[in-house]
Amino acid sequence: MKFTKMHGCGNDYVYINGFIENVSDPESLAIKMSDRHFGVGSDGIVLILPSDTSDFRMRMFNADGSEAEMCGNAIRCVGKYVYDNKMTESKVITVETLAGMKKLELTVEKDRVTYAKVDMGEPILAPGKIPVVSTLEPVIGELVVVDHQAYALTCVSMGNPHAVAFVDEITDSHVHELGPKLEVHEKFPQKINVEFARIKDEDNIEMRVWERGSGETLACGTGACATLVAAVLNGKTNRKAAVDLIGGQLIIEWDEATNHVFMSGPAVTVFEGVW
């Protein structure tokens, strides 16, 4: 089976062209391929498929085999894959996901996609739909207790669930110790992606993530969108800001007129292989 390893800001997935390859058990394939010692090594796998409603369809599986509704870094790479492999000639495409249809505008240099802007749709703020057990709406500063300490979290869904903690300094212990405990906390019935964010100024945010199903990754596109929305809800930034992640930078804008969030960032092919 042919595959392509790609990344967006270091958030790396194995991409499989479902137009020509048949994957019968993507959950276990994701676990095997993602293994960084015995597999290809990735944060998960992404299937690129035909769609009845959009130009293409994507399915995304975390490194533990769980399927996620949406992936911001992966959808930019899907745009690059289909354009670079001449599956479309259009620089504006739509992609069906479990979180609805997303529209991409592709930037092409020397016949290859280098960058993409994605309309990520409206953020979901109702607690029951994120989902989070909370009486607040929007869920700003929900106190979640871990090891007898309360953490104030702002919760946002970008189709997949996120909890954002604003901190003065992001530490390894936040990400590696608190992250996994929050991921499976009883307040989050479908588990949660956890973002730790430091406000640099009103136009710049630093963020690290503990992802549901994959652990720490070098970047999270939906997480960066959720963080910008959380920062605006808390009055900490403007509606457009740069989010600096370990693996690179994403530009996120929460447009007031449409209520849509727009994410712009790079898409990179690393190598192709045969499994």
Ligand X SMILES: N[C@@H](CCC[C@H](N)C(=O)O)C(=O)O
Residues with catalytic annotation?
71, 220
Tokens 């953490």 sit on residue: 151
The answer to whether residue 157 forms part of the interface with ligand X (CB under 6 A) is: no
Q: Distance of CA 203 to CAs 122, 191, 198, 244, 267, Å? A: 21, 30, 12, 11, 23
Rounded to a whole number of angstroms, the minimum distance from the CB of residue 237 to ligand X is: 19
Q: Distance of CA 255 to CAs 18, 71, 161, 237, 260, Å? A: 34, 20, 20, 13, 6
The answer to whether residue 227 forms part of the interface with ligand X (CB under 6 A) is: no
Rounded to a whole number of angstroms, the minimum distance from the CB of residue 71 to ligand X is: 4
> CB under 6 A: which stretch of 97-105, 121-129, 215-223, 234-242 binds ligand X?
215-223
**Buried/exposed code over 234-268 (b: 16+ C-beta within 10 A; e: otherwise):** bebbeeebbbbbbbbebbbbbeeeeeebbbbbbbb
Residue 85 labeled ligand binder: no
User: Of all residues in the chain, what percent are helix, strand and coil, respectively (each to 5)?
Assistant: 20, 45, 35
C-beta of 111 vs 229, nearer to ligand X: 229
The answer to whether residue 211 forms part of the interface with ligand X (CB under 6 A) is: yes
The answer to whether residue 130 forms part of the interface with ligand X (CB under 6 A) is: no
C-beta of 90 vs 190, nearer to ligand X: 190
The answer to whether residue 221 forms part of the interface with ligand X (CB under 6 A) is: yes
The answer to whether residue 42 forms part of the interface with ligand X (CB under 6 A) is: no
Tokens 């605006």 sit on residue: 232
Rounded to a whole number of angstroms, the minimum distance from the CB of residue 226 to ligand X is: 9
Tokens 């090594």 sit on residue: 41
Quote the CA–CA distance of 250 and 164 in Å, as a whole number: 17
Quote the CA–CA distance of 151 and 142 in Å, as a whole number: 8
C-beta of 214 vs 237, nearer to ligand X: 214
Residue 160 labeled ligand binder: yes
Question: Strand pairing of 261-266 and 248-254?
Answer: antiparallel
Q: Which residues lie below 8 Å from residue 148, measured CB to CB, with a gap of 6+?
A: none
* Cα 7 from chain centre: 12
Among 193, 227, 237, 264, binds ligand X (CB under 6 A): 193
Token couple for 97: 């996901």
Residue 211 labeled ligand binder: yes
Among 4, 217, 237, 264, binds ligand X (CB under 6 A): 217
Residue list 71-100, contact with ligand X (CB under 6 A): 71-73
Residue 221 labeled ligand binder: yes
The answer to whether residue 11 forms part of the interface with ligand X (CB under 6 A) is: yes
Residue 265 labeled ligand binder: no
Which residues belong to the annotated binding site for substrate?
Answer: 11, 62, 72-73, 160, 193, 211-212, 221-222
Q: Where does this chain bind ligand X (CB under 6 A)?
A: 11, 62, 68, 71-73, 160, 193, 211-214, 217, 220-223
